[in-house]
A and B are shown apart, each in its own frame.
Chain A
Amino acid sequence: MTDETTTQQATKRDDAWAKPVDKLTVSDAPIGAMNLNVDGRGLTGPLQGFGQLWQKTYRIRLEGAEVSPQDVVAYWKANLPSLMPDDSRFYPSLTGVKPGEVLLINATLPGMPGGMPVSTGVLVLYADDEAFSVMTPDGHPESGFNTFSAYDDGGVTVAQIQSLARANDPVYEFGFRFLGGGAQQERIWQHVLTGLAGNFGISNAKVDIKKVCVDNRLQWGRASNVRHNAVIRTTLNAPVRAVRRLFGGGAPA
């Protein structure tokens, strides 16, 4: 391998990472997306949240599908919104799933009849041919990373989602533990993986889930994260959106 080739590979790998940012910026919200609680927010990783830190790994084996890990990840990046369930909509920017881009998320969380709406988003932290990762902003239900990847396991391509995250504040921790938030999260990622497998002609594969509590402590020093809580802020903003709609204020804010 020449020095030039090595340098090119190193540059390509470095470009897989998002550029440093202090605050997230959403320049143009995709049509239909509610853009709240993302613009101007800082990022929060697994160390900055409140609740127990969990590593959850969801895997599906694409047994019998003639598809490479790179093909799977390329399809995943291009079709992420359509793979999500109706109660967790992702809105990539026009640029798509690329390092540094922001994906807006409009979801409904359990906890009350009809669910609680939440407008949030994530930053594409990392993306290469075999994986992409997103990182959460202040106010998001979780604080941490989600990595979507595919790899070869003895000739079978395996698609995987791995989250390393904790609830961002005490309200979310309560919701994850006692109001069905944790179960909803598992259902969402199972939906994504079975949908992904279905695209490659695999209809009966089971999603394997492995959960490890990496840190069972609550970080009480982070309890004040609740001031950014995106569910509370989205709910409080509902009357404003209703008035805007009533007086023809255009697309939802």
Chain B
Amino acid sequence: MPTANITTNVRRVNGASVIDIVGEVNAAADEALSAAFNEASQDGVKVIVMNFTGLEYMNSSGIGVLVTLLIRAQRNKQKLRAYGLSDHYKQIFALTRLDEAIGIYDSEAEAVSEP
């Protein structure tokens, strides 16, 4: 497996959980993102927001990791959202049709305030 090059931080904003993602999202990021998702889901949180402002790179395996997080969120009746994506990765989310299930926002304020 490729070496993980990612750090995550989970914080609470307006009742939502925000996962700050810094580094690369690929197959090796699975463990870190899964752990962050678990932490973000504590206390019955219903909105989880991924902050991609610090994203350096994402490959197709990384998209797969996000799909598995999304399925877990759907199972828990949680909403999964994202902000901070560059135009390039917004296009990748559209190409892979991930944007149909993960809400894409321009700012953290918008992502956490939407009902």
Contact = CB atoms under 8 A, between A and B. Distances in A.
Interface residues of A, number: 33
Interface stretch (A73-81, A144-152, A192-200, A240-248): A144-152
B64 A125 contact: no
Contacts of A16: 59
A151 B67 contact: no
Given A48-B97, A125-B96, A214-B71, A151 B2 contact: yes
A55 B60 contact: no
Interface stretch (B9-17, B34-42, B87-95): B87-95
B64 A151 contact: no
A32 B101 CA distance: 39
Given A53-B71, A55-B68, A214-B71, A47 B98 contact: yes
B64 A135 contact: no
Nearest to A135: B96
Contact of A153 (B1, B94, B100): B1
Q: Is the interface of B mostly helix, strand, loop or mixed?
A: helix
B6 interface: no
B67 A125 contact: no
Contact of A45 (B61, B67, B88): B67
A87 interface: no
Contacts of B71: 53, 214-215
B100 A47 contact: yes
A105 interface: no
A128 interface: yes
A11 to B, nearest CB: 10
A128 B96 CA distance: 17
Contacts of A149: 61
A21 B91 CA distance: 10
Interface centre among A13, A17, A55 (most CB of B within 10 A): A17
A47 B61 contact: no
Given A47-B70, A55-B68, A151-B1, A131 B59 contact: yes
B94 A131 contact: no
Contacts of A164: 64, 67-68
Given A20-B91, A47-B70, A128-B59, A162 B98 contact: no
A44 interface: yes
Interface in A5-30: 10, 13-14, 16-21
Interface in B58-89: 59-61, 63-64, 67-68, 70-71, 74-75, 88
A176 interface: no
Nearest to A57: B27
Given A47-B70, A53-B71, A215-B71, A147 B95 contact: no
A45 B91 contact: no
Contacts of B63: 145
A162 to B, nearest CB: 7
Contacts of A131: 59-61
Interface of B: 1-2, 57, 59-61, 63-64, 67-68, 70-71, 74-75, 88, 91-92, 94-98, 100-101
24 contacts: A10-B57, A17-B95, A20-B91, A43-B95, A43-B97, A44-B97, A46-B64, A47-B67, A47-B70, A47-B97, A48-B97, A55-B64, A125-B95, A126-B60, A131-B59, A131-B61, A145-B64, A147-B60, A149-B61, A151-B2, A153-B1, A162-B61, A164-B64, A164-B68
